[in-house]
Chain A
Amino acid sequence: MPDTSPRHAPGAAAIPRRSVLAAAAAGGAALGASWLLTGCSGAASASPADALPSGAPAGRPDRGGTLRIARPPASDAETLDPASSLSAYEYLGALYNRLVRIGPDGTLVPDLAESWEPDKEARTWTFRLRRGVTFHDGRAFTSADAAYTLRHILDPKTGSPQAGVLAPLVDPERLRTPDPHTLVVPLKSPNAEFPSLLTNYNCYVVPDGSAASIGRTGIGTGPFKLVSFTAAGPGRIAACEDHWAGRPVLDAIDFYSVANMQARSNALLAGQVDLLSQTNLDFATARVVANSDRATLARVRNAQWYVLPMLTTEKPFTDVRVRQAMKLAYDPEHVLKVALQGAGTAGWDNPVPPGTPGHLAAHPAHDPEKARHLLKRAGYERLAVDLYTSAYDPIFTPMALAYQESARRAGIRIRVRTAAADSYYTQIWMKKPLMATYWYTGRPVDQLLNQVFRGGSSYNETAWADKDFDAALDRARRETDDGRRRELYQEAQRAVVERGGAITPMFADRLVGISRKVRGYAEHGFEFDYLGIGLKGA
């Protein structure tokens, strides 16, 4: 590695310093640079969150123009296959459609399916598909493509992350296509929330038989068609003139892959790109962007939730009273203020984002005295635990320290330990009894609760196994009445809040850097409005 051996340095004692700096710089570059930029912008105000604008510029875009998006590459082996774990996320919503998607209010809205209904037991779902839709290569979209998409996701060779969610429900052999505009999905077990599981970004519809080529061709039914694509490199998509949902405002979108976050924000500040996708700006950079002549800030509300999972299989968290005490002991509003500078919403240990249909708003109040009392009864009067964090995400450590400070009032001693960022998710996550992590929101409530909290699920990071909770989820899946089903999901949330192992202090807004020319930017969860986004003065 780049070492300047002192043996060869004639009288230049300063030389070895560089090798130290070179190593330190790799980690410190972003920090140092953002500090520097903040210093120059002269905008380091005392109450930072207030200084950050809360919305993108309003107004209508002009028709036409090319939007330039900088994105972090998923991998050097990126693909346009939506089902793949290495899909180039930003392209998907522009190139493809799903059967159903999630609307701005959190409810399901039609995409390629115009309507859908279950049988009485919610054991078989029938989707009525939109007519007159064509793929970019001119072929008509039919139920065969919709059925193939599901089979492609479930194919073990695809290795789709969504297969784990759908495989227990859908038998690929039993899908039926009675006519070109009807898809019938018989389920292995009743599920009244099944359509919501198809809103996932792995579920974009691809043409029948396209598994071998879809990763390169990107042929879908979406508002844009592929012009060029390079894995972890540049690419371009162009508007479809006669798209079934109307012509997009833009003429084209250029995608550029920029791995380093500081480089991405520099590109925006220098006017080389118009939007930074999948990028949560740190607060210092966000302020620089907000004060720039070319760029400004937009927000994706509650884009991720932060969590301190307690492993319920490890002492002392095997005791439900200790888990309750850990939650009552701290003030989520305090953690939100300190770690996120207020840019988010307090979570109150419920991972279902506020505003989602069926969100349970009620929660126990912050009560350090009660926490102290519970610990005493459980025999952990002087509880001291390690809380692991890392530089993997800039919020982890501030969150851990804010929790530490807040919980101290209930007599809980937290030792914050920093682990290496690059092995954090293999060595610490689901291995240490208490650590800091986060999830992206955007999962439907059924998928969220089943994936992250059901006993035995591979993403169940608290290793929690609660029969009543699992039973509530099962009952909800069988319940076809929307109102009663919501109540059951609320019952499940209550179980998570009161008995589960996840301390969920807050939901964080994503601070998105966009050019001042961008109009009509709308993004929530995993939904991005590619039809309406455009430029002013393009």
Chain B
Amino acid sequence: MLSFLLRRVVAALGTLVLSSVLVFLAVQSLPGDVATQVLGKDATPSAVAALRDKLHLDRPAWERYAEWVNGALHGDFGTSLVSGKPVGGEVGQYLGNSALIALVTVLFAVTGSLVLGVLAGLYRDRWPDHLISTVSLIGMSVPEFVVATVLVLLFSIAVPVLPAVVLYGPEATVGQLLPAVWLPAASLAIVMAAYIVRMARTSVIDVMAGEYVTTARLKGLSTWRVVTRHALPSALLPTLHVIALNVAWLVGGVAVVENVFNYPGIGKLMLSSVQNRDLPVIQAIALISAVVYVCCNLAADLGAMALNPKLRTRGGRTR
């Protein structure tokens, strides 16, 4: 079991190192000279030279990579080319705001979709299943920015109960952001839930057809007990990975949704820093996305291990 754990962690670390290299290379290979891009229309030769010097663009790429990684390990992501502030603090502020959306989204999407998925599985081919499956298929096929626009149309313009956009900056308090969290979270949750519902339904159907469920039923256990004690733990197993993937997908999903709602989160920062060619910020965000991604997958693997006795012991047996 320990070696299984170790293998997973090492693989996760390897993925992170690889992604840091890719992130760095991708940013370096943006079209055009970086200094000219940052300065834009007002680039004079002397300004370009000064910026190239400031960014150490004359030094070899691997040297700059090593320096960046070293700084990042110590929590220092450099300073923003635009605001001149430390990237770490700036990204952290936006990340915190995004975490608020993510938390609400995950809470609602995961609990809601698991309940719906299990219901659909239990009432297979009956009307609750048809209803849930159809609605989730629609949710799956419509991109989040369309969902977001429809929600704004309904709840901000037609019946103005929720704000259409956030008018505060990144330093907004949780209290200020809270009324504005619901629409972005709902847009993300609708798209995200669809996948989890489908997966949960399929695995519940699989499990309920299993022999041990039949046995449990023959023993005379109530449906409730059969479902909660015997079927659900096994049914959750494959769903766990889908949940992890969807939580990781959130990092990308917020980029689109936050911009539609002007929500001061990591997605909005990402877009503006790409437009401004604020390279240190882009690198930091990309790396953080990779960390979130890897952590979600790692958590899913470990969670699956906790739920599945076979996975827990296999490592020990093969040795």
Total number of A residues with any Cβ neighbor in B under 8 Å = 61
The answer to whether B37 touches A423, judged by C-beta atoms less than 8 angstroms apart, is yes
Task: Verify if A9 is at the interface (C-beta below 8 Å from B).
Answer: yes
Minimum CB–CB distance for B35 against chain A, Å: 10
Subset of 20 A-B contacts with CB under 8 Å: A2-B252, A2-B289, A4-B249, A8-B244, A24-B143, A25-B145, A25-B256, A26-B259, A29-B259, A32-B149, A33-B149, A37-B153, A77-B82, A233-B171, A257-B169, A259-B259, A262-B260, A263-B259, A263-B262, A427-B32
Task: Verify if B163 is at the interface (C-beta below 8 Å from A).
Answer: yes
Minimum CB–CB distance for B99 against chain A, Å: 16
For the residues of A in contact with B, the DSSP-based class is loop
Nearest-neighbor residue (CB-CB) of A36 within chain B: B149
The answer to whether B32 touches A423, judged by C-beta atoms less than 8 angstroms apart, is yes
Segment of B107-115, B121-129, B214-222, B267-275 engaged in the interface with chain A: B267-275
Task: Verify if B234 is at the interface (C-beta below 8 Å from A).
Answer: no
The answer to whether A270 touches B252, judged by C-beta atoms less than 8 angstroms apart, is no
The answer to whether B241 touches A75, judged by C-beta atoms less than 8 angstroms apart, is no
Task: Verify if A426 is at the interface (C-beta below 8 Å from B).
Answer: yes
Given contacts A2-B251, A9-B242, A270-B164, whether A426 and B32 have CB atoms under 8 Å apart is yes
Minimum CB–CB distance for B18 against chain A, Å: 13
Segment of A15-23, A171-179, A211-219 engaged in the interface with chain B: A15-23
Task: Verify if A232 is at the interface (C-beta below 8 Å from B).
Answer: yes
Task: Verify if B210 is at the interface (C-beta below 8 Å from A).
Answer: no
Which of chain B's residues have a CB closer than 8 A to the CB of A85? 42
The answer to whether B146 touches A422, judged by C-beta atoms less than 8 angstroms apart, is no
Given contacts A1-B286, A233-B168, A270-B157, whether A26 and B245 have CB atoms under 8 Å apart is no
**Residue in contact with A76 in the complex, picked from B150, B191, B276, CB distance below 8 Å:** B276
Task: Verify if A234 is at the interface (C-beta below 8 Å from B).
Answer: yes
CA distance A29 to B143 in the complex (A): 10
Minimum CB–CB distance for B270 against chain A, Å: 9
Nearest-neighbor residue (CB-CB) of B143 within chain A: A21
The chain A residues found within 8 Å of chain B, CB to CB, are 1-5, 8-12, 14-15, 18-19, 21-22, 24-26, 28-29, 32-33, 36-37, 40, 70, 75-77, 85, 161, 230-234, 256-260, 262-264, 266-267, 269-273, 292, 420, 422-423, 425-427, 429, 458
Task: Verify if B152 is at the interface (C-beta below 8 Å from A).
Answer: yes
Task: Verify if B167 is at the interface (C-beta below 8 Å from A).
Answer: yes
Task: Verify if B40 is at the interface (C-beta below 8 Å from A).
Answer: yes
The answer to whether B143 touches A25, judged by C-beta atoms less than 8 angstroms apart, is yes
Nearest-neighbor residue (CB-CB) of B297 within chain A: A8
Nearest-neighbor residue (CB-CB) of B286 within chain A: A1
The answer to whether A233 touches B170, judged by C-beta atoms less than 8 angstroms apart, is yes
The answer to whether B275 touches A426, judged by C-beta atoms less than 8 angstroms apart, is no
Which of chain B's residues have a CB closer than 8 A to the CB of A256? 167
The answer to whether B37 touches A266, judged by C-beta atoms less than 8 angstroms apart, is no
The answer to whether A269 touches B242, judged by C-beta atoms less than 8 angstroms apart, is no
Q: How large is the interface on B (under 10, 10 to 19, 20 to 34, 35 or more residues)?
A: 35 or more
CA distance A85 to B259 in the complex (A): 25
Which of chain A's residues have a CB closer than 8 A to the CB of B149? 32-33, 36-37, 262
**Residue in contact with B156 in the complex, picked from A11, A28, A270, CB distance below 8 Å:** A270
Given contacts A15-B195, A425-B40, whether A234 and B276 have CB atoms under 8 Å apart is no
Task: Verify if B140 is at the interface (C-beta below 8 Å from A).
Answer: yes
The answer to whether B259 touches A269, judged by C-beta atoms less than 8 angstroms apart, is no
CA distance A458 to B44 in the complex (A): 9
Which of chain B's residues have a CB closer than 8 A to the CB of A425? 40-41
CA distance A423 to B32 in the complex (A): 7
CA distance A399 to B153 in the complex (A): 31
Which of chain B's residues have a CB closer than 8 A to the CB of A259? 259, 262, 268, 271-272
CA distance A77 to B85 in the complex (A): 10
Cβ < 8 Å to A, chain B residues 149-207 = 149-150, 152-153, 156-157, 160, 163-165, 167-171, 191, 195, 198-199, 202
Given contacts A32-B146, A234-B169, A270-B164, whether A1 and B238 have CB atoms under 8 Å apart is no
CA distance A193 to B33 in the complex (A): 39
Report, nearest first, the 3 A-B pairs whose CB atoms are least far apart. Answer: A2-B252, A233-B169, A270-B164
The chain B residues found within 8 Å of chain A, CB to CB, are 31-33, 36-37, 40-44, 80, 82-84, 140, 143-146, 149-150, 152-153, 156-157, 160, 163-165, 167-171, 191, 195, 198-199, 202, 238, 241-242, 244-245, 248-249, 251-253, 255-256, 259-262, 268, 271-272, 274-276, 278, 286, 289, 297
Which of chain B's residues have a CB closer than 8 A to the CB of A12? 195, 198-199, 242
Beyond A11-B202, A426-B32: 6 further Cβ-contacts under 8 Å?
A2-B248, A14-B140, A26-B255, A36-B149, A76-B82, A233-B171
Minimum CB–CB distance for B39 against chain A, Å: 9
The answer to whether B31 touches A427, judged by C-beta atoms less than 8 angstroms apart, is yes
The answer to whether B241 touches A234, judged by C-beta atoms less than 8 angstroms apart, is no
The answer to whether B260 touches A33, judged by C-beta atoms less than 8 angstroms apart, is yes
Given contacts A1-B252, A423-B31, whether A25 and B167 have CB atoms under 8 Å apart is no
Which of chain A's residues have a CB closer than 8 A to the CB of B146? 32-33, 36
The answer to whether A26 touches B256, judged by C-beta atoms less than 8 angstroms apart, is yes
Which of chain B's residues have a CB closer than 8 A to the CB of A21? 143-144
The answer to whether A266 touches B259, judged by C-beta atoms less than 8 angstroms apart, is no
CA distance A79 to B44 in the complex (A): 21
Nearest-neighbor residue (CB-CB) of A427 within chain B: B32
The answer to whether B245 touches A9, judged by C-beta atoms less than 8 angstroms apart, is yes
Minimum CB–CB distance for A388 against chain B, Å: 14
Minimum CB–CB distance for B301 against chain A, Å: 10
CA distance A272 to B157 in the complex (A): 10
Minimum CB–CB distance for A451 against chain B, Å: 13
**Residue in contact with A4 in the complex, picked from B191, B248, B272, B278, CB distance below 8 Å:** B248
Minimum CB–CB distance for B81 against chain A, Å: 9
CA distance A262 to B146 in the complex (A): 12
The answer to whether B80 touches A2, judged by C-beta atoms less than 8 angstroms apart, is no
Which of chain A's residues have a CB closer than 8 A to the CB of B36? 426
Nearest-neighbor residue (CB-CB) of B290 within chain A: A1
Which of chain B's residues have a CB closer than 8 A to the CB of A422? 274-275
Nearest-neighbor residue (CB-CB) of B273 within chain A: A76
Which of chain A's residues have a CB closer than 8 A to the CB of B276? 75-76
Nearest-neighbor residue (CB-CB) of B242 within chain A: A12
The answer to whether B195 touches A33, judged by C-beta atoms less than 8 angstroms apart, is no
The answer to whether A10 touches B262, judged by C-beta atoms less than 8 angstroms apart, is no
CA distance A37 to B36 in the complex (A): 38
CA distance A266 to B183 in the complex (A): 13
CA distance A63 to B54 in the complex (A): 52
Nearest-neighbor residue (CB-CB) of B240 within chain A: A10
Interface centre among B42, B144, B202, B262 (most CB of A within 10 A): B262
The answer to whether A234 touches B167, judged by C-beta atoms less than 8 angstroms apart, is yes
Minimum CB–CB distance for B224 against chain A, Å: 27
Which of chain A's residues have a CB closer than 8 A to the CB of B289? 1-2
Which of chain A's residues have a CB closer than 8 A to the CB of B144? 21-22, 25
**Residue in contact with B145 in the complex, picked from A11, A33, A458, CB distance below 8 Å:** A33
Nearest-neighbor residue (CB-CB) of A256 within chain B: B167
The answer to whether A426 touches B40, judged by C-beta atoms less than 8 angstroms apart, is yes
Minimum CB–CB distance for A29 against chain B, Å: 4
Which of chain A's residues have a CB closer than 8 A to the CB of B238? 10
**Residue in contact with A2 in the complex, picked from B199, B253, B272, CB distance below 8 Å:** B253
Which of chain A's residues have a CB closer than 8 A to the CB of B259? 26, 29, 259-260, 263
The answer to whether B145 touches A75, judged by C-beta atoms less than 8 angstroms apart, is no
The answer to whether A10 touches B165, judged by C-beta atoms less than 8 angstroms apart, is no
Minimum CB–CB distance for B254 against chain A, Å: 9
CA distance A193 to B301 in the complex (A): 74
CA distance A37 to B83 in the complex (A): 35
Given contacts A12-B242, A270-B160, A423-B31, whether A263 and B261 have CB atoms under 8 Å apart is yes
